[in-house]
Amino acid sequence: MTTTRFAFLGRVSTEDQQDPVASKNWQLGRAEGLVSRHGEIVAEFFDIGQSRAIPWKRRPEAARLLELLKSPNRGFDAVVIGEPQRAFYGNQFGLTFPIFVHYRVPLWVPEVGGPIDPESEAHDLIMSVFGGMSKGERNRIKIRVRAAMAAQAQVEGRYLGGRPPYGYCLEDVGPHPNPGKAADGKRLHRLTPDPITAPVVQQIFSDYLSGIGIFAIAQRLTDAGIQCPSAYDRKRNTHREGLAWSKSAVRAILGNPRYTGHEVWNKQRKQELLIDVEDVALGHATHLTWNSKQDWVFSDKPAHQPLISKDIFEQVALRLASRGPNSTGRTTVRREHPYAYKGLLVHDNCGRRMQGNWNHGKAHYRCRYPAEYAIANKLDHPLTVYLREEQLVGPVDLWLAEVFHPDHIEHSLTQLEAAQTQRNMPALDTTREVLLECDRKLARHRAALEAGADPALIATWSLEVQRERDAAAARIAALETQSIVDYRMTREEIRQLVDSLGGLVTILKRADPNDKLEVYRQLGLKLTYNHETRVVVAEASPRPPVCVVSVSGGGLEPPRPNTGTSTSS
């Protein structure tokens, strides 16, 4: 009797604090119970921290399994799933199972009692029902959680998490009312005035009502050496420099109703948006979006000590509204202008993307950096830097046409073939070192436990390290999956790439700016502008990297010599 080799596929989401180890064990147990009489499980693919709503191709382990289905040397004969609700969501079964059928790899599911029959309408119906149940379960959980949180914020005035507003810190008010969460050590908190930053908030409101503008307030705070919110709370703002107050920070404080003592919830929400409306199978991406003020949930009574009165907040709100774009009563008509280099042009001095700006009927790009912010960030930056688009179009298109011209194909092939690198190796090495360090920590904790240390304390430490280890393992799997997809191109494949690009760039001169933008993005074009030398450095990096070359800014000086792996003559 031939023994079937099975690959196990499972998934766990850690959003609701599920234990990845326990979840994997029971799913694997169900799978083993189904296939034990027919063979053994020789490979495991288990996604940690991945929502069921994410399609298979975007789950690291599931994507790796799908990639291996193509290989005749995959090492397994069939795939078994511990629970279909964990694997399939909505219509994912209908989008995924045909791949198994195409490569003739059976898919086993406990609810079917064996392999799914591609010709069976009953099996197809059962799996579709489980996908619908999975989606319905997730939606019901979402509705219940949101309704409960709204009631807790409105009726109880409960602080529901998140970072405290500038001017407040958190105060412990006792164990969590949920017995299960209290047993896990969770505590309730509420906002309490921060003795250092609370007076700053009060001064901002006072200055604004006295007639001082937002820009002037930000400048005063920076000149006085008062730390801005991102500098005061560096732990949560490592992605920001935090060297100066910005107008947006002052405006956010002036518009925050929590300073009146009332708890406010549902200001933002996670919204799932289609990644590509032309390819629904790619699924959704989650983005934080602002809700309208009508949807904000306010506590019925004050929940913490106010920093300003409600009257002051309303006066500030009226002044803000009177100075907004709608204060004149005129209707602003926004016009969409085409920009060929939208999001592709970077200012070399500060490293920020230059914004599109339409002046005198022509496309420009600008970088604005107020003087006091530049001083605080130790930058010698003009107030505004402008670059006209028409100065770039001719030189950039000419360079691309030369680089991908058929006459240069052999030189291009050589440069492209040599430029291919294993892009994920540095990240893989770093993540593997994290994994090894987690193993070393677990070994030390085990030794401490054997030496008589507090078991409860060791268990807490070990759980944290295990979670870090699981995350690192998932990251390694994702990077290895990426490496499988991003294989080194053959010389013939590179030749086809160059041929296709050569034909593409020849039409750039007559193309619409929006069409040009799409072409530039496909080429991986990046432009870096140095306003002092008036030189734009252009880099094109379709996978793999192509070349780096310098282009003069608007013909103000001759082009500098080509650098890097340029394929132009």
pLDDT tens profile 430-475: 788 888 888 888 888 777 777 777 776 677 777 777 878 877 787 7
The model's confidence at residue 554, banded by pLDDT at 50, 70 and 90, is very low
pLDDT tens track for 141-156: 888 888 999 999 999 9
**Residue 387 to residues 19, 129, 365, 366, 525: CA-CA distances in angstroms?**
54, 57, 5, 6, 17
Which CATH superfamily groups domain 168-263+299-322?
Putative Large Serine Recombinase; Chain B, Domain 2 (3.90.1750.20)
The model's confidence at residue 203, banded by pLDDT at 50, 70 and 90, is very high
**What are 476's two structure tokens?**
């390694």
In this prediction, what percent of the chain has a pLDDT beyond 90?
27
The amino acid occupying position 209 is L
- The single residue listed with the structure tokens 């000590």 is 305
Residue 162: phi and psi, rounded to 5, are 90, 170
- In this predicted structure, the answer to whether residue 315 has a pLDDT above a threshold of 80 is yes
pLDDT tens track for 359-402: 888 889 998 876 556 555 566 778 788 889 888 888 887 777 77
Residues 218/246, Cβ–Cβ less than 8 Å: yes
Question: Dihedral of CA 166/171/173/177: which sign?
Answer: positive
Q: What is the rounded average pLDDT for all residues in the chain? A: 80
Higher pLDDT, 62 or 539: 62
Find the mean pLDDT for residues 402-416: 61
**What are 20's two structure tokens?**
């990845």
- Please tell me the predicted confidence (pLDDT) of residue 564: 37
The model's confidence at residue 169, banded by pLDDT at 50, 70 and 90, is very high
Question: Dihedral of CA 490/495/498/503: which sign?
Answer: negative
Between CA 118 and CA 124, with CA 119 as vertex, the angle to 5 degrees is 60
The model's confidence at residue 481, banded by pLDDT at 50, 70 and 90, is low
Identical fold at 4-139 and 168-263+299-322? Answer: no
- Please tell me the predicted confidence (pLDDT) of residue 498: 54
Higher pLDDT, 273 or 167: 167
The model's confidence at residue 561, banded by pLDDT at 50, 70 and 90, is very low
Tell me the β-bridge partners of 190. 171
The model's confidence at residue 247, banded by pLDDT at 50, 70 and 90, is confident
- In this predicted structure, the answer to whether residue 422 has a pLDDT above a threshold of 60 is no
Q: Where are the domains of the chain?
A: 4-139, 168-263+299-322, 334-420+488-569, 425-484
Q: 387: closest CA among 506, 527, 186?
A: 527
Q: 310: closest CA among 261, 251, 260?
A: 260
In this prediction, what percent of the chain has a pLDDT beyond 70?
79
- Please tell me the predicted confidence (pLDDT) of residue 403: 67
* Buried b / exposed e along 219-252 (16+ C-beta atoms within 10 A): bbbbeeebbbbbebbeeeeeeeebbbbbbebbee
Highest mean pLDDT, choosing among 105-114, 478-487, 499-508, 536-545: 105-114
> Which of 81-95, 267-281, 304-318, 550-564 has the weakest average pLDDT?
550-564
- In this predicted structure, the answer to whether residue 505 has a pLDDT above a threshold of 50 is yes
Fold of 4-139: Rossmann fold (3.40.50)
The model's confidence at residue 558, banded by pLDDT at 50, 70 and 90, is very low
- In this predicted structure, the answer to whether residue 478 has a pLDDT above a threshold of 80 is no
- Please tell me the predicted confidence (pLDDT) of residue 196: 93
- Please tell me the predicted confidence (pLDDT) of residue 161: 83
195 prior amide bond cis, ω within 30: no
Distance CA 198, CA 268 (A): 24
Find the mean pLDDT for residues 124-131: 89
Q: 393: closest CA among 517, 499, 518?
A: 517
- The single residue listed with the structure tokens 């005129």 is 330
Find the mean pLDDT for residues 226-240: 83
Distance CA 395, CA 552 (A): 8
- Please tell me the predicted confidence (pLDDT) of residue 252: 92
Distance CA 320, CA 252 (A): 11
- Please tell me the predicted confidence (pLDDT) of residue 17: 60
Cα dihedral 46, 51, 52, 58 in deg (nearest 10): -70
> Which of 212-221, 233-242, 292-301, 342-351 has the weakest average pLDDT?
233-242
- Say what the pTM is: 0.57
The model's confidence at residue 409, banded by pLDDT at 50, 70 and 90, is low
Find the mean pLDDT for residues 306-324: 89
- Please tell me the predicted confidence (pLDDT) of residue 521: 78
**What are 339's two structure tokens?**
């920009």
- Please tell me the predicted confidence (pLDDT) of residue 34: 93
Residues 39/4, Cβ–Cβ less than 8 Å: yes
Q: Who contacts 437 (Cβ-Cβ below 8 Å, separation ≥6)?
A: none
- Please tell me the predicted confidence (pLDDT) of residue 116: 93
Distance CA 56, CA 67 (A): 11
**What are 193's two structure tokens?**
């005035």
Q: 79: closest CA among 92, 97, 95, 94?
A: 97
